Amino acid sequence: EVYVILKGMPELEKKLEEALKIKDVIIVPGNSQKNGLVLREMGKIISAKLKDIIKPKDIIGITGGSTMATVADEMTPSNKPYDVTVIPARGGLGKEVETQSNSIAAKISQKLGGNYRLLYVPDSLEKEALEMIAKNGEIKEAIELIDNMTILLFGLGRADIMANRRNLPKEKIDGLLKNGAVAEAFGHYFDIEGNEIWEYKTIGIRLNKYKEMEHIIGVAGGEEKAEAIIAISHLSSKMTLVTDESAAKKILEII
């Protein structure tokens, strides 16, 4: 199967913007979970979108995951360097280096010709240990950058899948699901109305900061992420969503 994208899906996009009450929706035909070409096309669109809004001195936060890793791969290198800083929006080291936010931040900044800062914070630390780490000079600087972030590019996922990927204890996962968690983004878990159920404690973007931001671009496709997309769309009407036809149709069935 080869997809040639000529002009997007304007009618479906408009319907979805209205249903999700968000600023902008871009839909790539097909199913990105089944067809790598669709996912790559989503990456290219994000790359174009990002270059459209970037201003000098922007601080671009990014998150991890396989979708964001593809976005980074598909980003077209710029011929003029951008005066921007790219930073992981949240700490947390996953097992697979190529899908970690640190690797993705480095790759995106290279493509843009900008700077990057890494954030080395392990995934499961107690409150006291996190407080200690936050005193470290480099981490302090990273926290300041995160607080002053001007653009956020993020992946979002299903609560159950992300909780398993993070190796949360079974009772914790059961509890989250019992409380209605369907979505995870930047370490926060939400129910379908966008109510926060739980936050995985680490260093990174706060929910209030997210809600205040002007430029937020979420990327997620595949019908299994439909509920997660609905949940995250409740958080801010300023979100631009880059998704696929399969998720779009499923969302319209549910809403």
For the chain, counts of helices (H) and of strands (E): 11, 10
- Residue 246: Cβ-neighbour burial (10 angstroms; 0-12, 13-18, 19+): buried
Q: Which CB, 184 or 191, lies closer to ligand G3H?
A: 184
Size of the site for ligand G3H (CB under 6 A): 11
CB 251 within 8 A of CB 230: yes
CB 153 within 8 A of CB 61: yes
CB 231 within 8 A of CB 193: yes
Site string for ligand G3H, 166-205 (x = CB under 6 A): ------------------xx--------------------
| Inter-helix orientation angle 226-233/245-254, to 10° | 70
Q: How far apart are CA 61 and CA 114, in angstroms?
A: 13
Q: Which CB, 24 or 160, lies closer to ligand G3H?
A: 160
| One of 50, 156, 216, 239 touching ligand G3H (CB under 6 A) | 156
Q: Which CB, 66 or 115, lies closer to ligand G3H?
A: 66
Site string for ligand G3H, 35-64 (x = CB under 6 A): ----------------------------xx
Residue 123: CB minimum distance to ligand G3H, A: 13
Residue 72: CB minimum distance to ligand G3H, A: 12
Structure tokens at 178: 């019992």
Q: Which CB, 20 or 39, lies closer to ligand G3H?
A: 39
CB 13 within 8 A of CB 25: yes
Q: Is residue 153 a contact point for ligand G3H (CB under 6 A)?
A: no
| One of 29, 30, 43, 65 touching ligand G3H (CB under 6 A) | 65
CB 103 within 8 A of CB 120: no
* Contact set with ligand G3H (CB under 6 A): 63-67, 155-157, 162, 184-185
